[in-house]
Amino acid sequence: MKTKTSLILTVAALALSGSALAEVKIALVAKSLGNGFFEAANVGAQQAAKELGDVKVIYTGPTTTTAEAQIDVLNGLIAQGVDAIAISANDPDAVVPVLKKAMQRGIKVVSWDSGVAPAGRQIHLNPSNNALIGETNVKLAADALQALNVEKGEVAVLSATPTSTNQNIWIEEMKKVLPQYPSVQLVTVAYGDDLSDKSYREAVGLLKSYPDLKVIVSPSSVGIVAAAQAVKDQGKIGKVYVTGLGLPSEMAGAIKSGASKSFAIWNPIDLGYAATYLADDLVKGTATKTEASMGKLGKVKLDAEGEWRDGQAVCLRCEQHR
């Protein structure tokens, strides 16, 4: 009898131990794989998982920047039975039905960087203040024109995809402040789909279609590198400057060649870190409708649509090279 009791207690203890050690599986879904911005975000996500101790981050995404490819990835994650999905969306609306299905099955959903429509997620994390990002891009263009000694010059935007939530918002914010920067003459917006080869071709096309073009602004970390390479290859160094949002590690060559003098960044590592904490908060039920935790980065206040609208301006800074 004593042996039987001991065995029961041992089994019970193991069951409790297994429950305590159960992993929370959080899928960090990028717009596409092979993008340095999202790879950096994954570094932050893995840091958060290590701090939390009971979280496993599954970093994944499509190989192409399309909603269809991302939906395939999401269906796979639902089949795996992950606990949460943290996604940077290729299309804010197209992914809603599959994410609704995920939520119906108890999977928590956070969007970050490029948002999902409110019906398809519970929380959205902006990387920074959208108005700040928009104006910063225009100011960088104005600074580039000044460096070229141009009083008023043609400026083109090289964006990611036409359906990219964050890119479209930033471009709208750029247009709002254009009257404050009379030197900036916006001539067109092109789309490189966050793919290096297409972004390069689009940048070359801009240089040929607009012979008086002075600045290319790319709010895409893929596009800015591709545009800088196009400027170099087309012999436009010192005649056309490239600026926008980029990563220092990827922009070193552009700075050295002179294709770019300044660009803006925020910390994608912090973004991935924060998204993981928010997803974990939802899974464990510690997030409320108005507040959630980002670990060492502090707490966020959420609006009625579960969005953090006033991201910290300190996440955005300019790298200048004179």
pLDDT in tens, 207-253: 999 999 999 999 999 999 999 999 999 999 999 999 999 988 899 99
Report the SS3 class of residue 162: coil
CATH top-level class for 22-127+268-312?
alpha beta
| CATH topology match: 22-127+268-312 vs 130-265 | yes
Listed by start position, the domains of the chain span 22-127+268-312, 130-265
Question: What percent of the chain is predicted at pLDDT more than 70?
Answer: 89
CB 88 within 8 A of CB 272: no
Q: Give the model's confidence band at 16: pLDDT under 50 very low, under 70 low, under 90 confident, else very high.
A: very low
**Residue matched to tokens 């990827």:** 250
For the chain, counts of helices (H) and of strands (E): 10, 14
Q: Whats the size of the chain, residue-wise?
A: 322
pLDDT of residue 307: 73
Q: Residue ranges of the alpha helices (H) in the chain?
A: 2-20, 36-52, 67-80, 96-104, 130-147, 165-177, 196-209, 221-233, 248-257, 268-284
Q: Give pLDDT tens digits for 108-144.
A: 999 999 999 999 999 999 877 889 899 999 999 999 9
Residue 211 corresponds to which tokens in the numbers above? 């012979």
- 238 phi and psi, to 5 degrees? 85, -10
Work out the burial of residue 105: count CB atoms within 10 Å of its CB; fewer than 13 is exposed, 13-18 middle, 19 or more buried: exposed
CB 301 within 8 A of CB 308: yes
Which numeric CATH code is attached to 130-265? 3.40.50.2300
Checking if the pLDDT of 14 tops 60, the result is no
Handedness of CA 156, 179, 266, 191 (dihedral sign): negative
Question: What percent of the chain is predicted at pLDDT more than 90?
Answer: 76
CA angle 21, 25, 31 (to 5 degrees): 160
Checking if the pLDDT of 310 tops 60, the result is no
pLDDT of residue 301: 80
Provide the 10 A C-beta neighbour count for residue 310.
Answer: 15
Could you tell me which of 127, 226, 142 has the C-alpha nearest to residue 179?
A: 142
